[in-house]
Amino acid sequence: MKRLIRMVLSRTTFVLLLLLAQIILFLFLIDYVSQYRYISTGFYVISVLIVTYLITREENPIYKLSWIIPILIFPLFGGLFYLLYRQRNVSSKVQTIHDEINQSREDYIKPYKTTSHSKESVYLNRQAWPTYQHTKTDFLESGEALFEALLRDLKEAKSYIFMEFFIINKGVMWTQILDILKMKVKEGVEVKVLYDDFGSSTLPYQYKKKLRSYGLEAYSFNPMRIHLNFAMNYRDHRKIVVIDGNVGYTGGINIGDEYINKVSPFGHWQDAGIRLEGRAVWSLLLGFLENWRFTSRKEIDYASYKGTTDIDENDGFVTPFSDTPLDKELSTKNIYLSLINSAKSSICITSPYLIIDNELTTALKFAAKSGIDIRIIIPYIADKKIIFMVTESYVPELMEAGVKVYRYQPGFIHSKMMIVDDQKAMIGTANLDFRSLYLHFENMVYLDRCNSVHEMTDFFNKTIEKSILIKETDQRGMIYRLL
């Protein structure tokens, strides 16, 4: 009940209600002026021209269809609505800033432009995300394990702590972290905190000012505004911590008590992350600094934050990378596709949501029909019932092709992993859904022949033992179980 009350009274709900009022007013005005034949004819002409423009435009087909279909269904006002709210990208000024920031990364990664000779590594290298050796990777198979390790490393910080999260919720987890951050500020450690304004909407309004009063530098990413525009969909879904340039963390874990099972609204919360130490932290750091510069509009001397730790041992190849909706590359999706298509024996996937486009669906089905053992674990208990119903609507088609889909019986699985042939893997923040692959700022780590890949496989197999294989008969009554 308290959770529901907080949600109803949150500033997110307030903004959404105002946006809804805008849409209702827009439709009312359109209905009113459509009584005049010449005006309504003009609206129809606008819709036809917009559809023609979208068909001929070089753009992602899914994005184009998301506009074309509604315009054709509602031709009277669809074209005008597109003109008012089409913002596929942010303003040209913001886009220019973003492009300049991305371009500047090339200068900082030139000394590291090496690859593992895998297709995925070569591709990411072309996107200015190099592959590293001399990096220690530690797979963390729960939010509790990551939190424990993170607290130890935060206490050891000497120079700086940089944190970027989609969600920061007040509670046990944030209180312990914030206490350390305030202590470190007093010791002269530089602390930067970046959080998504929508994802962290339970925080008080202008919470960044509160953090600044403690001596932290803080910004909220893409603040919610009352004016309706498509750019509001661009959320910072990343989870990054970098300490002194030597240690970095990422994974599915946000800052909230459910992630460490201090509260259990959806049964046991199963998450996972990875700790990096050594050279590869540099790319994790660059991902953070780019978003910090993009949000703060402040110039940053990247090189001054470079770490000094170098790991002698070579534990495979590590490629951290960040993804953005403001370029034409779908880096995360492309790596997922490449891994699926290159599989020789097995593909293991965990994802809280499974809302995939035709390309990914076709790739998974083809791999399964080609004899690849594909196992996917999704939650048993839904955190968002409608989205979960959409997730399960994809299951029958995959099952028919031979994909095995499991429900994590203890509760909700939130880890985002793909493991191929126990040799290659991806872990990070991106779900297998439309928003993560097309609309969010995400970050992932691609691993090739690292010990952590074997640890991820072992974790997956242990998790399978706690999960239930979905059978055709399980689909019946699914809606009743959710309601």
Active site residues: 237, 239, 244, 414, 416, 421
Altogether, the residues listed in the chain come to a count of: 483
**What is the Cα–Cα distance from 352 to 358, expressed in whole angstroms?**
19
Q: Tokens at residue 310, please?
A: 């170098």
Query: Could you tell me which residues come within 8 angstroms of residue 205 by beta carbon, excluding any fewer than 6 positions away?
Result: 11
- Residue 328's Cα: distance from chain center in Å? 17
How deeply is 208 buried, as exposed, middle or buried, from its count of CB atoms within 10 A (0-12, 13-18, 19+)? buried
Q: What is the DSSP string of 225-292?
A: -SS--GGGG--B--EEEEETTTEEEEES--BSGGGGTSS-BTBEEE--EEEEEETTHHHHHHHHHHHH
Residue of 340, 351, 356 whose CA lies nearest to 427: 351
Sheet holding 190-196, edge to edge: 135-140, 273-278, 247-251, 239-243, 160-165, 190-196, 217-221
Sign of CA dihedral 181, 185, 187, 190: positive
Residue type at position 85: Y
CA angle 236, 276, 271 (to 5 degrees): 60
- Beta carbons of 375 and 402 less than 8 angstroms apart: no
Q: Give the Å distances, CA to CA, from 64 to 221, 309, 434.
A: 26, 47, 14
**What is the Cα–Cα distance from 315 to 251, expressed in whole angstroms?**
19
DSSP letter (8 states) at residue 441:
B
Residue of 290, 273, 275 whose CA lies nearest to 324: 290
